[in-house]
Amino acid sequence: MKKIIMLGAPGAGKGTQAKQIAERYHIPHISTGDIFRANLKNGTELGKKAKEYMDQGLLVPDDLTCDIVMDRIRQEDCKDGFVLDGFPRTIPQAEALTEALDKINQKMDVAIDVAVPDESIVERMSGRRACLTCGATYHIVSIPTKAEGICDKCGNAVVLRDDDKPETVQKRLSVYHEQTQPLIDYYKKQNILQTVDGTQPMEEVFKAVTEILEQ
């Protein structure tokens, strides 16, 4: 099986695709958020180091983030492949990952960019609604609540979260274009970049992804 990196702007749907890939091919879905939380919870050496930065409101340095990812990649369940979601986010992280994999005679096989234009992302995310009580999520167009503004699951109000407001989404997109977009060129140079049209329905995007993985 393959070692896969998912790329795409916030709201492009790469996390959803990464989960589906993991399920279909029985490989681990490695999300940096999840592995950070696991290391913190288990009080590992790497987790303690990361906590020192996080407690001060600082970003965890690239080399430490890469060490935490590599620690996960070396685990037995990754021997047949894995899908990375949310890492690397920057060129230094990508270079650190390439170097660390070189040391164990491995390399990434494919980087899949879920491409969605900015205006579609702003539209998509500003339509999201979340229940702050039970955590259920909806979308006013694609997954509306049965009663307007009321959570189907627990009956409390659903809201537009601050991080889904158009002005916040625009800020997140500008950070993405500045820091993460260059990764597309980085992996293109390594001849492992594949692009799928993320504006299609979710099932169509996944079909395009599986076609790439099964070539």
Quick: pLDDT tens for 111-137: 999 999 999 999 989 999 999 999 899
Q: Has 37 been annotated as catalytic?
A: no
Q: Are 125 and 11 in contact (CB under 8 A)?
A: yes
Q: Has 172 been annotated as catalytic?
A: yes
Q: Which of 45-59, 96-110, 200-214 has the lowest mean pLDDT?
A: 45-59
| Radius of gyration over every alpha carbon of the chain, rounded to an integer in angstroms | 18
d(CA 86, CA 77): 19
Domains of the chain, earliest start first: 3-117+169-213 (3.40.50.300)
Active-site residue, selected from the candidate residues 3, 89, 124, 129? 89
Active-site residue, selected from the candidate residues 2, 51, 172, 188? 172
* Residue 199 DSSP class: T
Say yes or no to pLDDT of 1 above 80: no
Tokens in use for 132? 């702050």
Residue 8 region by backbone torsions, left for phi larger than 0, else alpha for psi between -120 and 50, else beta:
left
Active-site residue, selected from the candidate residues 51, 161, 165, 188? 161
Helices (H), the chain: 14-25, 32-41, 45-55, 62-73, 91-103, 118-126, 166-175, 182-189, 202-213
Active-site residue, selected from the candidate residues 3, 72, 124, 128? 128
Mean pLDDT of the region 61-66: 91
Quick: pLDDT tens for 75-108: 999 999 999 998 999 999 999 999 999 999 999 9
Active-site residue, selected from the candidate residues 14, 72, 124, 129? 14
Q: What is the pLDDT of residue 197?
A: 97
| CB proximity list for 177: less than 8 A, separation 6 or greater | 9
Give the pairing of strands 110-115 and 137-139: unpaired
> pTM of the predicted model, to two decimals?
0.85
